[in-house]
Chain A
């Protein structure tokens, strides 16, 4: 996929991501993120947005929930989370996509969970 050059006001939300629009980590909308160390205080010198994300991730949250709660566009949220992960401040939980047979067991657990919830 090509990346069109951004221009004018459209890029404003992206300026604090250093112009990057892609995260280096597999962050999908449903991917859960939590702080790496639940007992640590927020690292100093974070951007205000990253600080807010860090505080929110004291409990595991999905990328979509973080974006919605903090009203930060999805793409920006992904990049800021990626940076936090690079610095070791947050942990990115695995996402089950169903594309590997090894995930069958989790899908079966999911089905049993649905059966319990919607008897």
Chain B
């Protein structure tokens, strides 16, 4: 891909955008989290994946199928007048795995939302980010009933999450609690940033 951004000098200021990814199992609370913090109602758009991604989607068994469209949720936060952060939810179902690369590429970090009552649902997401290695991620335990069935350390052990990866609990329905997750992610991303140029991970 080209790396040169088209430039002109007609006074576009210094508007920049950035992105974080909200991952996790189906129904873990990703869209709820995005809805709690976003300044716009979460938008669902069909992401008809790139042709390159089609390689992973075997349509030979379903010749009647024309396109695979996957709803992709996102929200927006204006952090400063010229700094906008988008939050993109990943499709929860494993069969939409091929879409993740497109959504994750260029993200400054990821939150893996976990429903502690259904821990197995987040295995795929954790696997993905463990293998990816270039995107810092944290694990956020969604307290559905106001409390967790397990301690954070029990969950760390159950999911085999490395000791340096933050795990926090939160309530996806609560704006401040959900906002706290985003703050924790950015703090973690910054803490991992090298002062010298080198690849992290």
Write the residues of chain A forming the contact surface with B, with a CB cutoff of 8 angstroms: 1-4, 6, 8-10, 13-14, 21-22, 24-26, 28-32, 34, 36-37, 60, 62, 64-65, 67-68, 71, 73-76, 85-86, 88, 91-101, 104, 106-115, 117-119
Per the bound structure, the CA–CA distance linking A92 and B67 in Å amounts to 29
Write the residues of chain B forming the contact surface with A, with a CB cutoff of 8 angstroms: 1-3, 5-8, 10, 12, 15-19, 37, 43-52, 54-55, 66-67, 69, 72, 74, 76-77, 79-80, 83-86, 88, 102-103, 105-109, 134, 136, 175-176, 178-180, 182-183, 186-187, 189-190, 193-197
Nearest residue in A to B85 (C-beta to C-beta)?
A: A110
Per the bound structure, the CA–CA distance linking A40 and B187 in Å amounts to 42
- Evaluate contact between A29 and B8: CB separation under 8 angstroms: no
| A-side interface mostly | mixed
Per the bound structure, the CA–CA distance linking A86 and B11 in Å amounts to 18
* Interchain residue pairs with CB less than 8 A apart (17): A26-B3, A29-B72, A30-B19, A37-B10, A62-B86, A64-B45, A74-B48, A75-B50, A96-B108, A97-B107, A98-B18, A101-B194, A111-B190, A113-B80, A113-B85, A118-B175, A118-B179
Contact A118 to B16, CB < 8 A, known contacts A6-B51, A22-B1, A88-B8: no
* Shortest beta-carbon distance from A40 to chain B in Å: 10
| B-side interface mostly | mixed
- Evaluate contact between A30 and B183: CB separation under 8 angstroms: no
